[in-house]
Amino acid sequence: MGQAQSGTDTEVTLQNIQELYRKFASECPSGNLHLHEFKKIFGINSKSTEAETAYMENVFQSFDTNKDGHIDFMEYVAALHLVLRGKLEDKLKWSFKVYDRDGNGCLDREEVKNIVSIIYKIKRHNNLGDTENIEDICDRIFELVDKNNDSQISLEEFIEGAEKDPWVMDQLKLDIGPCDWFIGQQKKP
């Protein structure tokens, strides 16, 4: 998700946090951001594929750190910080956690194929997708990233591969507009 280093290096003031809280409270009067609201933010609706919906549910769950089924203000601020100001390595660790659907600490071919497929569909929807075959992309990612050839990508291999190869980084990042939405929320009157 938007692994590029953010240019938003301005100091966060108490006034910024208070304004952010006011906007959060007005958008989420219950004091919590629920899954259906989260999906709406990212454009996931009844026309979205099952894979896209499942992916956004994984993203939501990664931000719901206390696993209570919603994102409270503190989790929201932590998510904002990661998305807007987080270091590349932190974003890659978070992405890996989201992609690792079974939580075993490695990405297998099916998980990589799943995420590449989702990213491709979203990029294609935004007219950004190549015409490369998903299988070919997956094979190339494993050739470049799976250093010990065990048909699994560890967190270390994932970070190293994404940092060293711009093509791999492009294949593994999912820019679906959260940065634009979060920045827009900060600028809304």
**Main-chain phi, psi angles of 31, to 5 degrees:** 90, 5
Chain length of the chain: 189
Look up the CATH superfamily of 14-187. EF-hand (1.10.238.10)
**The model scores a pTM over 0.75:** no
pLDDT tens readout for residues 77-135: 888 778 777 788 888 888 888 888 888 999 999 999 988 887 777 666 554 445 568 89
Q: Note the pLDDT tens digit of each residue in 131-174.
A: 568 899 899 999 999 999 999 999 999 999 999 999 888 877 65
Domain residue limits, the chain: 14-187
Q: What is the pLDDT of residue 181?
A: 47
* Structure confidence by residue, pLDDT tens digits, 53-63: 887 888 898 89
Q: What is the pLDDT of residue 12?
A: 62
Q: What is the pLDDT of residue 8?
A: 45
